[in-house]
Amino acid sequence: MIKTYLFILLLLYPLGAGINSYADQSARLIYADSLREAAQYDSALTILKQTRSEFERTPGIPDSTIADLYSILGLYFYDIGQFTAAENYFDSALSIRKSIFGEASIETAEILVRLGDVYREQGRYQPCEDVLVGARNILEEIDKENLITAECYEASVPLYNFKNEYERADTLARLAMAICEKAPDIEPNKIGDCYNALGNVRFFTGDYDQAESDYESALGCFKKIYGSRHPDIAMTLGNLGNLYIVRGEYLKAESTFNEVYAMEEEFFGEIHPNLAVRLNLKASLYWRLGRFGEMEPLLNRAIEILKKTVGEDHPEMGASLNSLAAVNLVRGDYPTADSLFRKALQVLEKVYGTNHNTVATIMNNLGNINAVMGNYDVAKEYMLQALEIRKNLLGPNHNDVANSYGALARLHHKLKEYSEAETCLNEALKIKESLFGTNHPDVARIYTDLGDLDRRLGHLDEAVDDYRRALNILQGILGYLHPNVYLNIKGLAQAYAARHDCDSSLAYYGQFLDLALKLTDYAFSYSSESQKMSWINQYPVIENSLFSMALSCGSRQSKELAAEMILKGKASVIDAVMAEQKAAYCSEDAVTLDLLDRRNELCTIISNMVLTSVKKAPDESFRDSIQYLYNKNDSLEEELSRRCALFKDELFARRFSIADIGRALPHDAILLEYLKYYPYDFTKLGTDAIDSSNSRYLAFVYSSSDGVAFADIGDARSIDSLVDAARNEIYQADSRVFTPIGAMLESDLSEITGKLYNILIGPMADRLGGKRIVYVSPDSKLNLLPFEILTRPDGSYLIEANRICYLSTGRELLRFAQKPDSLFDVMVIADPDFDYTGDSVGSPDNRGEPTIRNVNYSQSRDIDRRSIDCLNTAFPPLRYGRIEMNSITELLARKGALEVRGYYGNKAGEKVLKSITIPPSILHLATHGFFCDASAVSNDPAQNNPLMRSGLALAGANRLLSAKDAKTTTDEDGILTAYEISGLNLTGTQLAVLSACETGVGESINGEGVFGLQRAFRHAGVKSLLMSLWKIMDKETSQLMHGFYGRWLAGESKVDALRNSQLEQLAQSRSSLGHGHPLLWAGFILVGDPN
């Protein structure tokens, strides 16, 4: 119909004709408006601009015609989402029409209706209601059957939907439909508008079947007049897509949203509020599908559009913030989630007040996040308030009321209020099944909760039935790769274990491990490093309950699965970031490399700010600034993860079996894998089932000839206390090892390390017989213990019987099978001038002779250490640093025929490392290291990052100690933190030697190793690390390094070269001092590839 009408108008009034009469003016405006209604916006705007220009040049144009022009311009800008411009034109039209027709006229009321539409889209609901009520009063007084009256009613429907006044909205929608149905020759699009209005009321009130019927009717009306593509068709399809989400028809919803978004982008371009709405809805769909990685880009784009179109106080912004909070909630980043939920609540309460269903949704979400964080009283207050609002507004049988009952049930369960939990779950189930039937994801979630409750109450048969029912629903709708499937499979594994059905439990634990790995790989593909850590805490691959089941059942299969879980689950995050860093630097993609440069600059700025304020209590301004930078860094890392997910070979390297590890192990080697775990009580549930005060260590030993042995080796607190005692003995020995009491000090230490040998090695000592190499993958506090010093029953040290190499996880053995790259060059950085104050510290572009210092070296043995306690005093020069550098440089050049680049004095600065583009084969650093215990710095999270609390001192480092204010620049300060090191390009570096104190020390995190320099250099891509576990002595370290390089370059493996050098020092100590205290020889360990 409209196409015919436009064709007739085109014949009557061709484009380009001048204004010859009032009839021409009206015809042109009608034609322009018809083009607008047909969504031919560019053509409409051309005519409207031309008409306005001619009106301005032509005297005597009637005011009513000018008002018509302004009205149509207002409609145009309303359609394309430029609401401020639309408001201005409608205001101009209103002023003219009031002056011509008076306040109480249909013509004036028509413009009031248009202004109401604008105010509603801007989220200004009170002005919207004021003008619509005014228009309604005028129209009902003049002509209740007028189509403008119907438009006024129809325009009021979404307003009252937003206000949760559904009865009033329903009444007005029906009145609008009644008028339109009686009107002669009514255009189908008017009827379509009424059907959409009716459908929306029914959607909000939970009458989903009737809502779908209304939307389908609206779609039919619009297609009659517009064909298959039009903004009104897109809007109606969007309504249907939202309905599909609620009903659990997710594939239909996604297909519909894709069609809608493409259509609206075609009509409106890339910036329009409607697009933000679609992006929010699509993100909501992806939340339900478990595709969290695809949510954040959509939400960030929606927020960007909303900021440019309707501002940050619009209710749709609240929806975006709520969904963004949900992404962070599922990642386990609870502080960020809580903050975003609160921002969303602030936006929505400002628009709606407190008594509103959308506000209740945010309150319920705040209840959820507080429940997760353990703030149960706050959680209950939010949830009860949300439930009360929803019941009052929506009645007792609405979908959102059921959602409130479900949240409350989970809270009651946490509070051990089991009867109340069951009551809430039954209420939620009754409502959900009445609305959606029995095959819906929300119904499945309730059965999962019922399974948890039944298992907690000891109703194990019922629990199994609940979990199975939930799993059948979920896999039929959502497929396999979904967190809710993860929860049900884990629930089934634990329920069968509680029933002592080992075979069934083992089968489900196998499924659980497979799914956990797949979910982790997916989550890691879009997350920053901190977000990866949050995810692995929220959805761990390593499930404590499996170990309790394996120990209880005792079967070979259960032990092998437990071993496989440890091998595949330990060090998941560091493996992922190493693979991403390698992929990024090897991609040669300009965008990716730019992201890396920007991230590294941020790391420097953050490090400078934190280090220069480390001894101050941070103020609010500092916190805000540093948090902003951390968030910016997270965003860069997220984008790097997304780009590097294209290089998935290493990211998916966990597709191996125990047999593959056996094939990678040399025949004369054995793997010792340790894990701190918490025993699981299968008669309980959740946090009740795990006693966090009762951590223990597991050990499994594996060799290609003997298979897997698996054991609980004891209480973790007792073992950790022995490790602490051993380290304390070493630190307290100090220079006393050179006195006559040195032998007694060794004996005292051996008493402790003998106990540790009995615990850590004793249960599998028979398997070590005949094994030349022992690969050790420690966990938690065991990362700080050199196993070489463990005292065997015959009084000898373990190093005297075995070669020991350390791994972050046993699966690293699979990488060692790869042929190593040839060695080409060496970078040596040694003996930095810590007092240097020049401007060009360590510039690789200015490698002239370094500044020569007049150095007063101390003659006291106990001062010659390569460490300083947490930046408390100035870094003293190293007596043997230059000697060590000259010695190994000569060795490397002569025996290894390698190109050696040496930097010392004022040239041994940060820029040397940060400017690396082609990583050296070997990196040797001889300087001071530092590690700050968490207790030595502020408790503020901004300052207490473990990668900020360890680092290396380089040229100019002592300037930092006199700095008074936090720096926010990329200037070099002489301190290279582990945080900065993590971004260096060392991919391909075969060995990094950290010839400084405590370079292997940091904060131990269960399952993820040591957060400090060790992690930073592995993150940067180094394959093997030689590093220290305590404050090493300068002279002995220099001698050890000379011996190590000499042997390695002579053809020994790295592990043999280190071991033989340490044995040589042990023998010399016994010969010259009469004892072999480990302080003198055992400070260094080799982590990574030993070959």
Map 971-1017 to HEC letters. CCCCEEEHHHHCCCCCCCCCEEEEECCCCCCEEEECCCEEEEHHHHH
**Residue of 1013, 953, 1004, 979 lying closest to 610 (CA atoms):** 979
Tokens of 489: 């499979």
Residues 6+ apart with CB under 8 A from 962: none
Residue type, 134: G
Give the per-residue pLDDT at 10. 37
The span from the CA of 437 to the CA of 263, in Å, is: 33
Using alpha carbons, list the distances in angstroms from residue 683 to 437, 457, 496. 32, 8, 11
Place of tokens 């260096």: 984
**Residue of 224, 220, 219, 210 lying closest to 238 (CA atoms):** 219
Q: Are strands 1024-1028 and 1009-1012 parallel, antiparallel or unpaired?
A: unpaired
Q: Are strands 707-715 and 696-703 parallel, antiparallel or unpaired?
A: antiparallel
Give the per-residue pLDDT at 11. 35
Q: Is 821-1088 assigned to CATH 1.10.1060.10?
A: no
Rg (CA), the chain: 36
Residue 230 and residue 39 in contact, taking contact as beta carbons nearer than 8 Å: yes
Residue 699 and residue 763 in contact, taking contact as beta carbons nearer than 8 Å: yes
Q: What is the DSSP letter of 558?
A: H
Beta bridge partners of 711: 699
**Strands (DSSP E) along 890-980, which ranges?**
899-905, 922-926, 929-931, 950-953, 975-977
The span from the CA of 311 to the CA of 8, in Å, is: 42
The span from the CA of 502 to the CA of 509, in Å, is: 10
The span from the CA of 857 to the CA of 730, in Å, is: 25
User: CA end-to-end span of the chain, whole Å?
Assistant: 81
Give the per-residue pLDDT at 856. 41
Residues 6+ apart with CB under 8 A from 827: 901, 903, 912, 916, 920, 922, 923, 924
Residue 816 and residue 1091 in contact, taking contact as beta carbons nearer than 8 Å: yes
Tokens of 944: 């207490």
Residue 604 and residue 948 in contact, taking contact as beta carbons nearer than 8 Å: no
- pTM comes to 0.84
- As averages over each run of 10 residues, the pLDDT of the chain (1091 residues) reads 36 43 77 93 94 89 94 96 96 96 96 96 94 96 94 96 94 97 93 97 95 97 95 97 95 95 93 94 93 91 96 95 94 92 96 94 97 96 97 95 98 96 98 96 97 94 97 93 95 96 97 94 84 88 95 93 94 82 73 77 74 60 73 76 60 69 89 95 74 88 87 96 97 91 96 98 88 94 97 97 94 78 81 81 45 40 50 78 81 80 92 90 90 65 71 88 53 84 89 89 84 89 92 85 92 95 96 95 94 83
The domain ranges of the chain are 658-814, 821-1088
**Residue of 407, 544, 28 lying closest to 415 (CA atoms):** 407
**Residue of 187, 123, 128, 121 lying closest to 152 (CA atoms):** 128
Give the per-residue pLDDT at 945. 74
Give the per-residue pLDDT at 279. 95
Give the per-residue pLDDT at 647. 52
Q: Three-class SS of residue 1000? A: coil
